[in-house]
C-alpha cells in the first residue's frame, strides 16, 4: 500500500472509531469543544515608524534597496498579534493607522505562533457570593482569631 493510500486508510479507520462528536455539557456549561486550528493561531507583525531628523522631516535611505524609503526608528518599533482568522491589512488599518498614520508593516519580520488561552475558551464566569454571606463568614473568622489571641495572652 502506498503512503498516501495508507494515510487515507488510517484516517478513515480513526473516523470510524471516533464516531460523531457530541458536545457535552454539565450544569448547562459546555465541557467539550472542538476548535479549528486557526482559533489558536496568530501572526506577530512588526509595526515600524519612520526616523525623523532634527527638523521633524522623515529620514530616507540613501543606498541599496532602502534608497528613497523611510528609515525605521527602532525606538518606535512595536509588534501586534493578529489572529489567523483575521486579515492582517484590515487589522492594521483598523487598529494601528488611526494612531500612527505613518506606520508600516515589516513583512520580513512577521511570524506565526499558536497558543491555547484556556481562560478565554474554557473559563465560565460565576457571580460572587452575596455580600451578606461574605460579611458573616468574615465575622466568624475574626471572632475566632480574637479568641486565639486572647488564649495566647492568658
pLDDT in tens, 19-29: 676 777 777 77
Q: Is the pTM of this model over 0.95?
A: no
Closest CA to 41 of 122, 96, 111, 109: 111
CA distances from 20 to 16, 30, 124, 148 (A): 9, 17, 26, 59
Please count the residues of the chain. Answer: 154
114 beta partners = 41
Q: Which residues pair with 47 in a beta bridge?
A: 78, 105
Instruction: Please report, rounded to a whole number, the percentage of residues in the chain having pLDDT higher than 90.
Output: 51
DSSP state for residue 60 in the 8-state scheme: B
pLDDT digits (tens, 9 = 90+) for 59-107: 998 888 888 889 999 999 999 999 999 999 999 999 999 999 999 999 9
pLDDT in tens, 101-115: 999 999 999 999 999
Q: Please say whether the dihedral angle defined by the alpha carbons of residues 62, 65, 68 and 71, taken in this order, is positive or negative.
A: negative
Distance, in Å, from the CA atom of 29 to the CA atom of 124, rounded to the nearest integer, reads: 8
The rounded distance, in Å, linking the Cα atoms of 66 and 81 is 26
Q: Which residues contact 45 (CB under 8 A, 6 or more apart)?
A: 79, 80, 82, 88, 92, 105, 106, 109, 110
Amino acid at each position: 500500500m502506498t503512503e498516501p493510500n495508507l494515510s487515507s486508510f488510517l484516517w478513515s479507520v480513526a473516523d470510524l472509531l471516533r464516531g460523531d462528536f457530541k458536545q457535552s455539557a454539565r450544569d448547562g456549561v459546555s465541557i467539550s469543544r472542538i476548535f479549528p486550528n486557526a482559533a489558536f493561531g496568530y501572526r506577530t507583525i512588526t509595526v515600524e515608524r519612520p526616523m525623523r531628523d532634527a527638523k521633524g522631516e522623515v529620514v530616507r535611505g540613501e543606498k541599496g534597496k532602502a534608497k528613497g524609503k523611510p528609515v525605521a526608528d527602532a525606538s518606535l518599533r512595536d509588534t501586534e498579534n493578529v489572529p489567523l482568522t483575521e486579515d492582517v491589512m484590515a487589522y492594521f488599518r483598523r487598529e494601528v493607522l488611526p494612531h500612527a498614520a505613518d506606520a508600516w508593516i515589516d513583512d520580513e519580520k512577521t511570524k506565526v505562533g499558536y497558543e491555547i488561552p484556556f481562560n478565554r475558551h474554557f473559563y465560565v464566569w460565576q457571580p460572587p457570593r452575596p455580600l451578606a454571606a461574605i460579611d458573616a463568614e468574615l465575622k466568624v473568622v475574626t471572632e475566632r482569631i480574637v479568641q486565639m489571641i486572647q488564649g495566647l495572652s492568658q
